[in-house]
Chains A and B, each alone.
Chain A
Amino acid sequence: MSEKIYVWLLKLYPSRFRRDYGSSAIQLFRDRLKAERGIFQLCQFWFDVISDLAISVPREHLRRSAAEPSMPGSFRISEEAVSAMTKREAVIPAFVVGSAVVLGLTIAWLGDSNHVLLFVAYVPLVILAMGQFRSIGKVEKHWHSYQLTLGANGLHLMQDGRECSLLRSEILKVHEDQHGLSAIGIRGYSQSEVLSVEYRQARDRLVSIPMPAGLTSYEQIREQILQWTGRISQRRSLWLKELKPLACAVSLAPAMLLVRSVPWLAIVAVIYCGTVLLAIALHVARPPRDSGLAQQGLNVPPPAYMWRRLKRLFRYPPMLVLFFLPIARVVLPR
C-alpha cells in the first residue's frame, strides 16, 4: 500500500525525471521501507518522504537540463518554455474547467433542485475535468520531445516520434505572436504553384511547424526564416490556446442560474440555447483563416470546411454538455 502511494506521488515529478530515475526511486523507497521497523520509525520515514517531495519536486520542475546531444543545426525547447507551454495548453484549461465543475457542484448542492439528477448531468464535466488534468503530463511530454532542425533548404520537425519537413520554397506564410513563430506550407507545392492546388489535396498536404519562443537560438531561426520568406506577419494570440474549455466553463453560469430562477426558466433557456446556436453557426460559417490558404487565394469550398467543423464540434464532449445541460435542467423534475 505504501509503495502504491509513493508510486502515485512520483507523478508529481516531471516526466523526464520519472523516466530516468522513477524505478530507482521506487527501489530506494522499497529498501528504506523494509529497513524501518515500528510505528515511530515508520512515521519518521513518511515525514522524510513528504519533506523530500516538498523540496525536490519544485526543484526538478525548475531544473534547466544540460544540452542534450543533438545534430548540428537542431534545436530543443528550454525547461522554462516547456513549463510555459504546458501551463497555457493544459494547466490553465484544467484549472478553469475544474473550478467551474467544483463551483457548479457546490451551487447544485445548495440549490433546491433534484440533487441526484443534476449531479448526473454534471458527471460528463467531472470526467472532462479529470481528462484535462491527466493531459498535463502528455502535453509536457509532447513539448519535451520537440526537436527542430534548421537546414539550408528548409525546416525539419521531430516530435512524439513523428517527423515533418517543409522546404523553404514551400513556406506560404509565417505568423509570429507572443508565443513564437508558426510556419505554414503545402508539402510538394511551391508558392507559385499553390493556386493550382485542389482544396482536398491542400488539406491533406498542409503542414504547420510551430517554433515556440523558448526554443534555443530562436532569434537565429527567426532571422533565417525572415531571409527565406521576406515577411513575418505579426498577431496577438489569446492567453489560452483554445477557448473551448473556457466556453464550457462559462456555459455553466446559466445552468447554475436555472437551479433557482423558476419563473424565468423558459426565457433564460431559450436565450441561452439561442446564443449557443448562434455562436456555433458563426464558428462553423467563418472562412478558414488560420491555414493561410485563403490569403493565398486558394479556392476553399464552404460546405467542406463547414461540415468538418460541425462534425468536430459535436465530437467534442464539452460542446454536447454546453448545449444539453441547460435543456436537461429544464426537463428535470424538481
Chain B
Amino acid sequence: MPKRKLDPLPSAAFHILLALAGEDLHGYAIMRQVEQQTGGRMRLGPGTLYGSLKTLLEAKLIQELEDRPDVDGTEERRRYYHLTSAGLKIVRSEAEGLADTLRVARAKRVLRGAHV
C-alpha cells in the first residue's frame, strides 16, 4: 500500500531522498539541504517534511537511526534518517527519468543559457 502512495514519487519525497543520498541527516538539516538543492524554491514546512518522512519510513525507503550521531553534545534529541538501498534505487531511477526528460528538452532546444 505505501508503494502505491509513492508512485509517482512526490517532489518533496524525491528531494528528501536526494538530500539523504549524501549523508544521514536530521529533520532541520534535511529541510536546509532541500532548500539548497532546489535553489530556495522548495522550503519544506514541518508538516510536509515529517509527513513525507513518515511515508518514506512506511515504504522502507529510509530508516531512522537507532544510534544517533552526537555532533556537538546538544543533538541527542534529534532523529537522524538514513537512505536504504531500496530508497537509493528509487531516487536513482527517478533521477535517471529526469535526466532523460532533460535530454529531450535539450534536443528540442527548450532550454536556454546555462542549462544547454
B-binding residues in A (CB < 8 A): 13, 17, 20-21, 23-29, 31-32, 48-49, 51-53, 55-57, 59-60, 63-67
Binds A, one of B39-47, B82-90, B93-101: B39-47
- Selected from B46, B48, B51, B78, the residue in CB contact (under 8 A) with A29 is B46
Is there an interface contact between A27 and B48, defined as CB atoms closer than 8 Å?
no
- Selected from A20, A23, A51, A52, the residue in CB contact (under 8 A) with B54 is A20
Main secondary structure of the interface of B (DSSP, over half): helix
- Selected from B1, B45, B49, the residue in CB contact (under 8 A) with A64 is B1
Instruction: For the complex formed, measure the closest distance between the CB of B22 and the CB atoms of chain A, giving whole angstroms.
Output: 20
Question: Which residues from chain B contact A64 at a C-beta distance below 8 Å?
Answer: 1
Is there an interface contact between B45 and A56, defined as CB atoms closer than 8 Å?
yes
Question: Which residues from chain B contact A48 at a C-beta distance below 8 Å?
Answer: 43, 45
Is there an interface contact between B46 and A25, defined as CB atoms closer than 8 Å?
yes
Closest-by-CB residue of B relative to A31 is: B28
Chain B residues numbered 20-74 whose CB sits less than 8 Å from any CB in chain A: 27-28, 31, 43-51, 53-54, 58
Is there an interface contact between B77 and A27, defined as CB atoms closer than 8 Å?
yes
What are 13 A-B pairs with beta-carbon distances under 8 A?
A17-B54, A23-B77, A24-B78, A24-B79, A25-B46, A26-B46, A27-B27, A27-B78, A28-B28, A51-B45, A56-B45, A65-B58, A66-B1
Give Cα A119–Cα B48 distance, bound, in whole angstroms: 43
Is there an interface contact between B46 and A28, defined as CB atoms closer than 8 Å?
yes
Count A/B pairs, Cβ under 8 Å: 65
Is there an interface contact between A25 and B50, defined as CB atoms closer than 8 Å?
yes
Lowest 7 A-B CB distances belong to which pairs?
Answer: A52-B45, A56-B47, A25-B46, A21-B50, A66-B58, A31-B28, A28-B46
Closest-by-CB residue of A relative to B51 is: A56
Question: Which residues from chain A contact B2 at a C-beta distance below 8 Å?
Answer: 66
Question: Which residues from chain B contact A49 at a C-beta distance below 8 Å?
Answer: 45-46
Q: Name, among B47, B51, B58, B77, the residue most crowded by chain A CB atoms within 10 Å (CB to CB).
A: B47
Question: Which residues from chain B contact A57 at a C-beta distance below 8 Å?
Answer: 47
Closest-by-CB residue of B relative to A54 is: B47
Question: Which residues from chain B contact A26 at a C-beta distance below 8 Å?
Answer: 46
Is there an interface contact between B1 and A17, defined as CB atoms closer than 8 Å?
no
Give Cα A218–Cα B84 distance, bound, in whole angstroms: 35
Question: Which residues from chain A contact B45 at a C-beta distance below 8 Å?
Answer: 48-49, 51-53, 55-56
Q: A64-B1, A66-B2, A66-B58 are in contact. Are A24 and B27 (CB under 8 A)?
A: yes
- Selected from A13, A27, A67, the residue in CB contact (under 8 A) with B47 is A13
Give Cα A53–Cα B77 distance, bound, in whole angstroms: 24
Closest-by-CB residue of B relative to A55 is: B48
Give Cα A51–Cα B43 distance, bound, in whole angstroms: 11
Give Cα A26–Cα B45 distance, bound, in whole angstroms: 11
Question: Which residues from chain A contact B31 at a C-beta distance below 8 Å?
Answer: 28, 32
Give Cα A49–Cα B31 distance, bound, in whole angstroms: 13
Question: Which residues from chain B contact A67 at a C-beta distance below 8 Å?
Answer: 1
Question: Which residues from chain A contact B46 at a C-beta distance below 8 Å?
Answer: 21, 24-26, 28-29, 49, 52
Give Cα A29–Cα B48 distance, bound, in whole angstroms: 12
Question: Which residues from chain B contact A56 at a C-beta distance below 8 Å?
Answer: 45, 47-48, 51
Is there an interface contact between A28 and B51, defined as CB atoms closer than 8 Å?
no
Beyond the given pairs A26-B46, A49-B45, 14 more chain A to chain B contacts, judged by CB atoms under 8 angstroms and listed by A's residue number, are A20-B54, A27-B27, A28-B46, A28-B49, A32-B31, A48-B43, A48-B45, A49-B46, A52-B44, A52-B45, A53-B47, A56-B47, A56-B51, A59-B51
Is there an interface contact between B47 and A25, defined as CB atoms closer than 8 Å?
yes
Give Cα A17–Cα B77 distance, bound, in whole angstroms: 18
Instruction: For the complex formed, measure the closest distance between the CB of B58 and the CB atoms of chain A, giving whole angstroms.
Output: 4
